[in-house]
DNA sequence: AGTGCGGCCTGTCCGC
DNA sequence: TGCGGACAGGCCGCAC
């Protein structure tokens, strides 16, 4: 579920409860996430002061004076701010308890998320080192997409979803961005003009920015740190709309698999 | 080097 | 009502 806007919504939701505070303890009920939560993480985090909560792609970075915790929500993870006595529910895998008693509680049915630790600059961590530019940052441009696509035979949708090319664009927002910029998801990345790549970058930025403003997209199990769902779903133009009329031209929205991911598009608006 | 696919997990839905 | 299979928002790591 969580793509960049949902991770950013989570960051905005947990940050006020963490930043500037000291961690009183960590409670781990299930270490078997995508990777085992390292044995030493309770010791590293307990007593550490969180300087700030950052996001890189879809990774959340809890920066402390001692090092950085790296968290990912996977496909089904979410974080909530809970009171000390809040009842546990199924798949509540860990709590990071702050000095005021409030805690960040991580829930993840599919356990594709992770919680890792690095003493080093997190930018050097193997999971982050090769990530492409932030889609909402200054380093993404049509020129960049054009030059990285040169000679590639992959589809533009796969290129856009490749985290080594651009960080954090997942399936929902790739579909939506391609619709907004009028590009067919199956078009070969290497055969798209720089002008159209400019349009695509604008589409990506517009979709992500608006989704963040809406608190992300809730399809079934994404909730922000305050328990509220995201409201971008009602603004989706193609994702999960197979067979429904294109809101621009009325053509029936198609669904097809591209690189094992469900893709949605309008054959009239996207070429 | 670039590309394609299996795998990690649980939950849900659909067809039989 | 039960059961098998496909699929779901991510992404690593391997084989070719």
Domains defined for chain A, CATH in brackets:
4-129 (3.20.190.10), 142-265 (1.10.8.50)
Q: What share of chain A is helix, strand, coil (3-state, %, to 5)?
A: 30, 25, 45
Positions of A annotated as catalytic residues are 2-3, 58, 261
- pLDDT grade for A222, boundaries at 50, 70 and 90: confident
With CA atoms as reference, report the closest residue to A78 among A208, A268, A227, A192: A227
DSSP state of A187: S
pLDDT value, residue A75: 92
For the cut 70, the answer to whether the pLDDT of residue A1 exceeds it is: no
For chain A, the distance separating the N- and C-terminal CA atoms, rounded to the nearest angstrom, is 27
Instruction: State the average pLDDT over residues A245-251.
Output: 96
- pLDDT grade for A219, boundaries at 50, 70 and 90: confident
With CA atoms as reference, report the closest residue to A113 among A92, A132, A133, A130: A92
- The C1' atom of C3 and the CA atom of A33 lie apart, in whole Å, by 28
Enter the pTM of the model.
0.96
Angle, alpha carbons A229-A230-A231 (nearest 5°)? 120
Angle, alpha carbons A172-A173-A176 (nearest 5°)? 95
Nearest nucleotide by C1' position to the A76 CA atom = C9
Instruction: State the average pLDDT over residues A212-229.
Output: 88
| Nearest protein residue by Cα to C1' of nucleotide C12 | A127
pLDDT value, residue A263: 94
Q: How confident is the prediction for chain A on average, in pLDDT? A: 94
- The C1' atom of B4 and the CA atom of A32 lie apart, in whole Å, by 28
- The C1' atom of B1 and the CA atom of A154 lie apart, in whole Å, by 14
Distance (Å, whole) CA A118 – CA A66: 9
- pLDDT grade for A261, boundaries at 50, 70 and 90: very high
Cβ-based contacts with strand B at under 7 Å: A 32, 34, 76, 90-91, 109-112, 152-154, 158, 220, 259-260
- The C1' atom of B6 and the CA atom of A210 lie apart, in whole Å, by 35
Distance (Å, whole) CA A44 – CA A119: 9
Instruction: State the average pLDDT over residues A46-67.
Output: 97
Q: How many helices (H) and strands (E) does chain A have?
A: 7, 10
Among A1-5, A68-72, A90-94, A134-138, the range scoring the smallest mean pLDDT is: A1-5
For the cut 70, the answer to whether the pLDDT of residue A203 exceeds it is: yes
* Strand C contact residues in chain A (134-153), C-beta within 7 Å: none
């Amino acid at each position: 579920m969580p793509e960049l806007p949902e991770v950013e919504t989570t960051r905005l939701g947990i940050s006020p409860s963490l930043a500037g505070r000291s961690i009183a303890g960590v409670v781990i009920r299930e270490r078997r996430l995508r990777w085992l939560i390292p044995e030493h993480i309770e010791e590293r985090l307990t007593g550490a002061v969180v300087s700030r909560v950052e996001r890189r792609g879809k990774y959340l970075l809890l920066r402390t004076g001692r090092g950085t915790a790296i968290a990912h929500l996977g496909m089904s993870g979410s974080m909530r701010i809970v009171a000390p006595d809040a009842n546990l529910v199924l798949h509540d895998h860990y709590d990071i308890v702050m000095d005021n008693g409030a805690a960040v509680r991580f829930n993840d049915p599919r356990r594709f998320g992770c919680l890792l630790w690095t003493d080093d600059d997190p930018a050097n961590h193997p999971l982050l080192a090769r990530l492409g530019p932030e889609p909402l940052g200054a380093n993404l441009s049509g020129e960049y997409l054009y030059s990285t696509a040169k000679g590639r035979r992959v589809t533009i949708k796969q290129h856009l979803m490749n985290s080594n090319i651009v960080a954090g664009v997942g399936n929902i927002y790739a579909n939506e961005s391609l619709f907004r910029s009028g590009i067919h998801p199956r078009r070969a990345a290497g055969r798209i003009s720089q002008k159209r790549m400019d349009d695509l970058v604008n589409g990506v930025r517009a979709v992500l920015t608006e989704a963040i403003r809406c608190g992300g997209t809730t399809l079934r199990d994404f909730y922000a740190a305050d328990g509220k769902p995201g409201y971008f779903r009602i603004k989706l133009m193609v994702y999960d709309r197979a067979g429904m009329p294109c809101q621009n031209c009325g053509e029936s929205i198609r669904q097809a698999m591209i690189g094992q991911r469900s893709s949605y598009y309008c054959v009239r608006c996207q070429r």
